[in-house]
Structure 1
Amino acid sequence: MPRGMEACASLCGAGSSRGCRCRCRQQCQGPAEAAVAYGKPAPAAAEKHVEAVEAARCCAESGEIASPMPPPHCSLRDLPVEMLVEIFAWLPGTDLPSLALACTKFHHILHIDRIWRRRCREEYGFSENSQNLEMIGMSYREVYAKLLHPYRHILGLWQLDTEDYRTLLNVAVDGLCITGWTYGPSLNTHVDGPLQFQPSFRIRLTERKSAVVECMEGRHSRPHSRHVQIQKDRLTLQCDKTGHRKDLTARLRQERALVLSLTLGLEDRYQYDCLAYRRLYLPPSHPEDLIRPGLFQGNYDAFGLKIVMLSFHGKYARVTKITGDTIRMLEIHLMRRIQLPDGEFFRNFNELSRVVQEIDEQVIREQQQQQQENGTEESQGHGWQSPAQPSVGESGAAALEEQPVPFVLPVGMRTRDQNYPRTCRMCFYGVDTVTLPGLAYWERFPGVFILFDENHFGFIWLKVKYFILYGRVQNTFQNVEAPSPQAFLEML
């Protein structure tokens, strides 16, 4: 029997076939299967010859030449080994151990490394050379079972969960290891430059083929042991060495230009040998968004670039600060667009301030009225918490079609980025809310959100006459998709 016809007959005997052009599924089922499918009790003894005849008829209708003596019984185990290897390689790796318990043949087939090589590549992006694995006596099945699968929940982006100084951790598959990379702000990098990461820890397989976690930081000889505790959206790293505290003090002095007097009591408040992180998801993208959301970086001060996240929430957009020592949330009101007749509009600072102040007063009145109607005590400037709805402002397509107008900073405006775009597409009213670490005090700064292009936006703080430019982070990250829109909102 030709291989194609044999495969078709085998699948038909199981009750389904992609290649068979049956008039209905019942034609490819035996009496027992058809009875179960329609909720009828199966007969006591299935008629094997009827199943074989039905399988042969399916093959004939699909263009194959049926054998005059079809096999009395067809099952998945009758397929050639090469075909089973190809089928099993498409199944999720978590389903393969159960499949290995089905029979001895499947058990032996699932030791073929080609199956696990595809699982490692497609599920985790693992692309190590098979010759390198052979040299160290390792198989793809062992890499999957002892490294990738047990530590799959650690992959992705994490934010240091502390009020003192937050940073970014990216955990990714790196060759034969899983490496955690810590973001380090650069003092001399433009907003369009790549993020700078340093290795923090790694998870690797030893010669005994057991995974170990090694710390890549500290003044002590490295690498040394480090402990990892993984929960649902929490990650805790604990090191046996305590020299990290002094290292962190030096690092903060360098990155934030801290004087020695500010380090008093730092070792008691910031236990660097035990760090807790929270899961960080990237925002989902929708066609109505002005630009593609994601991570951006900008120069807030003289202490290096800071990372923010741009996300869209119906009538509002939000810019959330990810790294740094202050908690900031910039809310953009997409329904309150500031029209730009020409570039001269920005040159007149007093006129720009008057327009923004009028909008700000109107927003405060509307929020106070809404709070009174709802009987709540919500803080001002948090409209993004309203239920997400389709954007009623300009769509992403309209933003791209918008004709750019000249842009120039008002006279007397301070900025750390003189190399900003000289044209922009849209402007909106926005409010930046700043909260100092450890304090309940917060302050709001109304201003102008400026959309330059797909990869750049800016904000003008009118009260302090300061402008900051944001550039899209060009680095790509894996395992950063939120499992649901609600999970992303809860993260924020």
Structure 2
Amino acid sequence: MEECACLCGMGSSRGCRCPQKHQRPAETAAADGKPAQAEKHVEGDAAARCCAGSGGIASPMPPPLPPHCSLQDLPVEMLVEIFAWVPATDLPSLAQSCTKFHHTLHIDSIWRRRCQEEFGVRENLQNLEMIGMSYREVYTKLFPYRNILGLWQLDNSYRTLVNVVVDGLCITGWKYRPSFHTHVGGPIHFKPVFRICLTERKSATVECMEGPHNRPHNRQVRIQKDWFTTHCNQTYHRKDLAASLRDEWVRVLIGEDRQRYDLLTYRRLYLPPSHPDDLIRPGLFQYYLDDFGLKIAMLSFHGKYARVTDITGYSKKTLEIHLMRRIQLRDGEIFRYFNELSRVVQEIEEQVIREQQEDGTEESQGHGWQSPAQPSVGESRAAAWEEQPVPFVLPVGVHSRDQNYPRTCRMCFYGVDTLAIIGSSYLKSFPGVFILFDENHFGFIWRVEKCFFLYSRVQNTFQNVEAPSPQAFLEMLKNIQSMP
């Protein structure tokens, strides 16, 4: 019985029901001989086969082995569903692994999914069949231009925005056109500046859409991860400048037209990441600074501070909001007496200067900047909406270009607006009051100059604008501010 316990692997002979063969007298007499010993091993092997996998219970035959299964054994319909979710960069390796995979990857529904997921293509199969193309061909032509999609800043004196999107069977670059005589809440206007056609049989072609009458002509594009350049051989963009001056739009583009149109550089812009504790949702906002039309700024949160950074226009205006230095509204009466509001701002300003002197000017250099998408240590969004709105009236003597501002607000904070003019040595700071109206509007009052600026959220939606990491966004923001 002890021997049977070892063969069954149960650890004890008690309860083992393995059938045992009684030893004959001859076998007992030959217990020490080699033939008997060999027979014992044979008998043990038989018992092991009998009891293996059955927990000591006899089985008439060994259990079947699990069937061998691989992706190659799956039906084609199931492979199509699986491959449609595989990143396109891995599909070539799958195609080379076996003949079945190679033929399966020629099924167009796989590439339709990839075109939709990666590039937002919404063409239907019927439209493609009319021009004799497949989704596989469309994807092949889109792939070299995958890094050009998104939001960009033209690297020139005006820093125009360009949004590059998939538009049908084309990739179109849309340039921002500043609005005149329009409320800050109005839509952003864009016009096409270049187009990449994907319907050519051999390869995609790039067409320039600028110039008189928007006559398309060839343009070369060089694409990197965070920037791209366009090179145009035509020179009549500048020759048409005199006629364009009759249009009010071109007043903000004069600096752009003075530059060489044959070589333009665009730098990538990321939209700021959002965190539930941010005071409001970060993003792009429009406002008026001067008579050269609406400008676009970017609101982002960095721990104890919020930043509003200009990304268009001739100026480099950076508004720093101190979220730890809140100004009490007192039911809105503080706005009726501007001298009182000015006195509160001046006291905070003097306190900030003293702390900077004691701490080695750390605060003025932005030492409190956290990477975005981290919990704020200032006022949170929940706290903002718990506050009851109070009446807001523009203080007497404060002038504003836009009078259609909200009539209630929720919070106020101390802030400093720094203005620099691109291409000059002008640099000046304007302490004042940041006013939170609602999720889509905020304002700022310059204390000494008595100017009010209303910011309204940009309602346009953009694709491919997410930063790969908070650090990447912070690095991009610093590059904008350090741009000469």
Partner of 1:202: 195
Partner of 2:147: 153
The partner residue of 2:304 within 299, 315, 322 is 315
Q: Is residue 2:299 matched to residue 1:298?
A: no
Residues 159-197 of structure 1 show CA distances to partners (whole Å, capped at 9, x for unaligned) of: 1122x2111000011100110000001102222211101
Q: Structure 1's 340 and 195: CA in aligned 2 closer, same or farther, altered over 3 A?
A: same
Q: Is residue 2:405 matched to residue 1:420?
A: yes
Which letter does structure 2 place at the counterpart of 1:105? K
Shift of 1:326: 0.6
- Secondary structure at the counterpart of residue 111 of structure 2: helix
Q: Take 1:460 and 1:165, find their aligned partners in 2: how far apart are those partners? A: 25
Shift of 1:156: 0.4
Shift of 1:486: 0.7
Q: Structure 1's 288 and 211: CA in aligned 2 closer, same or farther, altered over 3 A?
A: same
Q: Structure 1's 295 and 129: CA in aligned 2 closer, same or farther, altered over 3 A?
A: same
Which letter does structure 2 place at the counterpart of 1:165? Y
Partner of 2:25: none
Contact 2:170 / 2:197 at 8 angstroms: preserved in 1?
Answer: yes
The partner residue of 1:435 within 417, 420, 426 is 420
- For structure 2, the 5+ residue unaligned runs are 1-52, 54-62, 478-484
Shift of 1:440: 3.3
- For structure 1, the 5+ residue unaligned runs are 1-53, 55-67, 373-377
Partner of 2:463: 478
Contact 1:460 / 1:468 at 8 angstroms: preserved in 2?
Answer: yes
Shift of 1:385: 3.9
Contact 1:182 / 1:197 at 8 angstroms: preserved in 2?
Answer: yes
Contact 1:447 / 1:461 at 8 angstroms: preserved in 2?
Answer: yes
Shift of 1:121: 0.8
Shift of 1:242: 1.2
Superposition RMSD in Å = 2.5
Which letter does structure 2 place at the counterpart of 1:173? V
Partner of 2:331: 342
Contact 1:319 / 1:331 at 8 angstroms: preserved in 2?
Answer: yes
Contact 1:255 / 1:303 at 8 angstroms: preserved in 2?
Answer: no
Contact 1:318 / 1:384 at 8 angstroms: preserved in 2?
Answer: no
Partner of 1:369: 358
Partner of 2:259: 270
TM-score normalised per structure 1: 0.80
Which letter does structure 2 place at the counterpart of 1:160? L
Q: Structure 1's 288 and 420: CA in aligned 2 closer, same or farther, altered over 3 A?
A: same
Q: Take 1:281 and 1:344, find their aligned partners in 2: how far apart are those partners? A: 39
Contact 1:451 / 1:458 at 8 angstroms: preserved in 2?
Answer: yes
The partner residue of 1:88 within 55, 62, 83 is 83
Shift of 1:437: 1.2
Q: Structure 1's 355 and 477: CA in aligned 2 closer, same or farther, altered over 3 A?
A: same
Q: Take 1:266 and 1:281, find their aligned partners in 2: how far apart are those partners? A: 23
Q: Take 1:315 and 1:249, find their aligned partners in 2: how far apart are those partners? A: 49
- Secondary structure at the counterpart of residue 307 of structure 1: strand
Q: Is residue 2:439 matched to residue 1:454?
A: yes
Shift of 1:129: 1.6
Identify which range, 410-419 or 382-391, moves more after superposition.
382-391
Residue-pair matches, total: 416
* Greater Rg over alpha carbons, structure: 2
Shift of 1:386: 6.0
Shift of 1:256: 7.2
Shift of 1:246: 4.2
Q: Identity of counterpart residues, as a percentage? A: 74
Q: Take 1:362 and 1:80, find their aligned partners in 2: how far apart are those partners? A: 73
Residues 213-234 of structure 1 show CA distances to partners (whole Å, capped at 9, x for unaligned) of: 1111112762101111112211
Shift of 1:237: 1.4
TM-score normalised per structure 2: 0.81
Which letter does structure 1 place at the counterpart of 2:233? D
Q: Take 1:249 and 1:361, find their aligned partners in 2: how far apart are those partners? A: 51
Q: Structure 1's 367 and 251: CA in aligned 2 closer, same or farther, altered over 3 A?
A: farther
Q: Take 1:300 and 1:256, find their aligned partners in 2: how far apart are those partners? A: 16
Contact 2:185 / 2:458 at 8 angstroms: preserved in 1?
Answer: yes
- Secondary structure at the counterpart of residue 275 of structure 2: coil
Partner of 1:29: none
